Amino acid sequence: MKLMRKGLLITGAVIIILGVVIFFIGIYLSSGITSGIASLVTGIHNETMISPGSSIVVNTNETGAAVTVVYNDTLGKPLQVITSGPGQLEVESVEGQYVVIYVPEASPSTLSLVNNYSENAMVYYTYGAININTLMPLALSTIISIGLIIVGIILLILGAVLKSK
């Protein structure tokens, strides 16, 4: 029984370590997403004056890529966001800036920021595309890691609780 207890403790520890290693492999394989986000933050910032009814158009050339636009404007109000096709669209205000994320269902597609106010607006913006598929290794490794760590913890608890006869 003592050998079984020791075996459970060792097996549990090895499974937890394996879970952690798989998680970090997933992070490494998904490193493309971090470069896409970094280019959005540090990329070229555009500025455009748009009159009432005018728009800024961002083309999307890749199905499954999230087009992200980060902007603010001199009006301090959100611009209207129009897409040329179906897809998932999210618009959020974050610390005085507006973040637009659009994942088109078909390609090519466009996303437009429209000045629907009665005065001109200077818009300061940056945009980029982030391929959603680069998140898949991270998502899968996270799920697998959580499962392995739970199993490892259960084995450690069983190994610690079992008493030798």
Comparing C-alpha atoms, which of 137, 142, 134 is closest to residue 32? 134
| Confidence (pLDDT) at 151 | 95
Comparing C-alpha atoms, which of 108, 103, 125, 130 is closest to residue 39? 130
Which range of residues forms the domain containing residue 46? Answer: 2-161
| Confidence (pLDDT) at 76 | 87
Total domains present in the chain: 1
| Confidence (pLDDT) at 3 | 74
| CATH code at position 130 | 2.60.120
| Contact criterion met (CB below 8 Å) for 8 and 159 | yes
Q: Tell me how far apart the alpha carbons of residues 163 and 155 are, in angstroms, rounded to a whole number.
A: 14
pTM of the model: 0.58
What is residue 105's DSSP assignment?
S
Token digits for 131? 């391929």
- pLDDT tens digits in sequence order for the chain, 165 residues long: 677 788 888 999 999 999 999 998 887 877 666 555 555 555 567 889 999 999 998 877 666 677 888 888 988 889 999 988 888 888 888 878 898 888 888 777 888 999 999 999 999 888 877 776 677 788 888 999 999 999 999 999 998 887 655
| Confidence (pLDDT) at 164 | 56
